[in-house]
């Protein structure tokens, strides 16, 4: 039994590393292959199920961003099925409510007219996540996402969203959750993009430098985002 458990833990770690490498190199085909391979394994524990949901989360964000609606809806449905299972098994798990709010948010991203009736439901789940655990990383990021993307007229606040992203980064660093963690790189990138939106260019430059010191091969920042910022700084001089 111990050997079987050890092999299962090793396999899960291997999937996590593969997802990380796919993210670093912007290889979403590799992400999908790894996600599907992990999906085909039997997820027994709540943590294993949350890990799979996190893979759906990252991939669905990509699908929504690239307007691949049909595939996005399929992934949302798969994730929501597992979310329902985890809610039944662990009704006080803060992360699963954050994910529930996230995937409702993806539905809004695919069809903006749904925001009026799905928006409050998404926000309720995110708020409940943070009511269960104010230091829940996923909940803090999801709340920050909402604050960042919502127009200020309707409650958006980019200063507050930045604080939420920074809090999530600090929590991941405090709990040593940075190794092979694609989400850590992703949230650091959100920090920099938020800083740019606030015209905090020097701070954003420092954030991108921190990212590349941690992961020099992170292609999205290395090839696109950081050079764009340096050009913006140069143009503003």
pTM: 0.92
Q: Which residue segment(s) compose the domain that 175 sits in?
A: 163-236
* Domain-embedded: residue 232: yes
Instruction: Name the burial class of residue 67, with classes exposed (0-12), middle (13-18) and buried (19+) by CB atoms within 10 angstroms of its CB.
Output: exposed
194 shares a domain with 96: no
* Domain-embedded: residue 7: no
For residue 217, give both structure tokens. Answer: 């091969």
Alpha helices in the chain (DSSP H): 2-24, 28-40, 46-65, 69-89, 94-110, 115-132, 137-149, 158-174, 182-197, 201-214, 219, 226-236
* Domain-embedded: residue 141: no
Q: How many domains does the chain have?
A: 2
* Digit-coded pLDDT (tens) for 57-96: 999 999 999 999 999 999 999 999 999 999 999 999 999 9
* Digit-coded pLDDT (tens) for 11-44: 555 999 999 999 999 999 999 999 999 999 888 8
The 3-state DSSP class for residue 1 equals coil
For residue 235, give both structure tokens. Answer: 């143009």
* Domain-embedded: residue 6: no
* Domain-embedded: residue 57: yes
112 shares a domain with 183: no
Instruction: Out of 115, 134, 153, pick the residue that ends a domain.
Output: 134
């Amino acid at each position: 039994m111990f050997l079987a458990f050890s092999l299962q833990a090793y396999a899960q770690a291997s999937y996590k590393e593969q997802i990380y490498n796919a993210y670093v190199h912007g290889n979403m085909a590799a992400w999908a292959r790894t996600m599907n391979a992990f999906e085909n394994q039997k997820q027994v524990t709540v943590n294993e199920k949350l890990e799979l949901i996190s893979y759906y989360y990252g991939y669905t964000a990509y699908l929504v961003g690239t307007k691949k609606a049909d595939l996005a809806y399929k992934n949302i449905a798969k994730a929501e099925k597992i979310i329902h299972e985890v809610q039944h098994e662990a009704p006080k798990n803060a992360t699963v409510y954050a994910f529930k709010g996230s995937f409702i948010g993806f539905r809004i991203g695919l069809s903006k007219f749904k925001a009026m009736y799905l928006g409050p439901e998404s926000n309720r789940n995110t708020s409940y996540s943070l009511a269960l655990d104010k230091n829940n990383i996923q909940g803090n990021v999801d709340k920050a996402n909402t604050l960042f993307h919502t127009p200020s007229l309707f409650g958006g606040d980019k200063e507050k969203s930045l604080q939420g992203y920074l809090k999530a980064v600090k929590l991941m660093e405090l709990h040593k959750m940075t190794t092979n963690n694609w989400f850590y790189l992703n949230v650091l990138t959100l920090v920099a993009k938020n800083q740019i939106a606030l015209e905090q260019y020097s701070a954003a430059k420092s954030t991108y430098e921190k990212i590349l010191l941690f992961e020099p091969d992170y292609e999205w920042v290395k090839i696109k985002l950081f050079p764009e910022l340096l050009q913006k700084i140069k143009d503003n001089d």
